[in-house]
Structure 1
Amino acid sequence: MGNMATIRRDIGAGHHFIFDNTLVSQPNTEMFSPEFWQLQNKITGQAKGRGTTIFIEHENQHWVLRHFKRGGLVGKILSDQYFFNGVERSRPFEEFRLLEYMRGEGLLVPVPVAARIHRRGLIYRGDLITLSIPNSQDLHHVLCQQPLTKSEWRDVGRALARMHNCQVYHHDANIRNIMIDSNKQIWLIDFDRCSKRQGNSWKQSNLDRLLRSLHKEQAKNPVFHWAEGDWAACLDGYEELVKR
């Protein structure tokens, strides 16, 4: 997967950065601003989630910029504000470090480019930039158009098993956080609030979450190419690789 050269830099005024200096020579606050990229006419697209994810073309790189926002009832009050408990324990820094670890283990996850937090007193806000996954679509988009083959479903299961073999828990393992590229490779994305864990008891909850998301989207979408037999193939791929 290549070697990263990770550097942390604190520039004062509450700004803290972590970045790969093979991809970014000098981080600054502007690179985390959608308004800045809009003025540069560098935004190529966006996606809605808890917040808006921005796709950027910059110096022959394709970036994904995500501003950290809360969901649920808390999100309606605090929106993008988090309680500060140390720079390295901030959500952008933790996700950057986790992606760095997984890339080192050979997992197909986004390449972390840079993360930053801006602290004011006991509160911080944060952002993360990753490299875009070329020529890819999430499983929700794909399944609304066409079915996956049984072999592809087994590959989905294998991807989850590889993640679990690295003892990584995914907080939201749903079909929108699983990507398939033009080479039919399976990628996992969105590792906010994810972490390395001990033991095995938690792993089933990731599989249960994925199955719930399949049932949910099948009920919501008039055309959705998924059947219970596909889930059996996914589990076959998972059991083939997972370590007990």
Structure 2
Amino acid sequence: MTIKHQKISMGHHTLVNTHFFDSVDPMVFSAEYWRAKNAVIGQAKGRGTTLFVQNSDTDCWVLRHYRRGGMAAKLLSDQFFYEGLRRTRPFMELNLLHYMQQAGLNVPTPIAAQVCRRGLIYRADLLTVRIPHARDMHHVLTHQSLSPAVWQAVGAAVRKMHDAQVYHHDLNIRNIMLDSHETVWIIDYDRCYRRQGDSWKQQNLARLQRSLLKEQAKAGDTAFHWSGADTEAMLRGYGKV
């Protein structure tokens, strides 16, 4: 897999995974393009809307338009301050995904990224391959419990990410996926980066544990199949027990 930079026009840049494109048509970053092809098969809502698009009979892609969260979203919405192409959010995320795949981690395959700059502001998009037959662990845990082996696999996946010195900015149960073979995938690497040292790793793992407690509290009387024994199994997989 080779990543290639393309300058489309002044202020308009793409990064392309040459396994998918030799050169990319910017139209693939447009939701309207996929809707016109009747290729939008679903969506996920977060800060913005992420579209699932059917590129072929077998390939499903994920198109995400970068948006801000919190108070800044009311003022800037999908606008970010430009500090150089290498520091734009999609270029950082795509390059990090490429590094992680090369390191053997289970992460989404990057396809292409786009940055459209005007003055000090840019807007951006990212295309990745959708993980086949996968559900996020929050969804799974509202329907069923998981075996200790799966929880150990979750811990091992986080440990492998940390051993690659990758800090996950938003490590929570909704960003961990299980496919039909119960293989663990970690997703959403926006604002994530490679980080030296080890002191931050325990805090990152604790963030995941807090997300489980938070989801359990939100569930109330609704089923959420998680217990302290599951956390112990996860920590064994990580290597903490």
The TM-score range, normalised by the shorter chain, is: over 0.9
| RMSD (CA atoms) | 1.2
Aligned residue number for residue 55 of structure 1: 52
Matches of 1:198 and 1:125, distance apart in 2: 29
Tell me whether 1:127 sits opposite 2:125 in the alignment: yes
Amino acid at match of 1:199: G
- 1:68 corresponds, among 62, 66, 88, to 66
Q: Tell me what 2:11 maps to.
A: 14
Report the counterpart of residue 239 of structure 1 in structure 2.
239
* Distance (whole Å) between structure 2 residues aligned to residue 231 and residue 160 of structure 1: 13
What are the Cα deviations for residues 81-110 of structure 1, in whole angstroms up to 9, with x where unaligned? 100011111000000000000000000000
Does 1:139 pair with 2:156? no
The answer to whether residue 227 in structure 2 is matched with residue 227 in structure 1 is: yes
Aligned mates of 1:191, 1:145 — CA distance in 2: 26
Aligned partners of 1:112 and 1:196: how far apart in 2? 17
Question: Separation in 2 of the partners of 1:173 and 1:80?
Answer: 22
Q: What is the count of residue pairs matched by the alignment?
A: 238
Q: 4+ residue stretches of structure 1 with deviation over 2 A?
A: none
5 Å-filtered alignment, 1:1-244, equals 4-59=1-56, 60-221=58-219, 222-239=222-239
Q: Is the 8 A contact 1:50 1:71 kept in 2?
A: yes
Give the Å deviation of 1:128: 0.5
Deviation at 1:240, TM superposition (A): 6.7
CA contact (8 A) 2:89 2:191 kept: yes
- Which AA in structure 2 matches 1:65? L
Contact kept? 1:115, 1:127, Cα under 8 Å: yes
Q: Which moved more, 1:94-103 or 1:61-70?
A: 61-70
Q: Residue 206 of structure 1: CA displacement?
A: 1.3
| CA-to-aligned-CA distance 1:137-187 (integer Å, 9 cap, x gap) | 000000000011111000000000000000000000001100001111100
Long gaps (5+) in structure 2: none
* Alpha-carbon distance, 1:28 to partner: 2.2
Amino acid at match of 1:227: S
Contact preservation (8 Å) 2:6, 2:23: no
Shift of 1:26: 2.5
What percentage of aligned pairs have identical amino acids?
A: 52
Which is further off, 112-121 or 13-22?
A: 13-22
For the Cα contact (< 8 Å) 1:158–1:240, is it kept in 2?
Answer: no
d(CA) in 1 for partners of 2:59 and 2:180?
18
1:35 CA displacement = 1.3
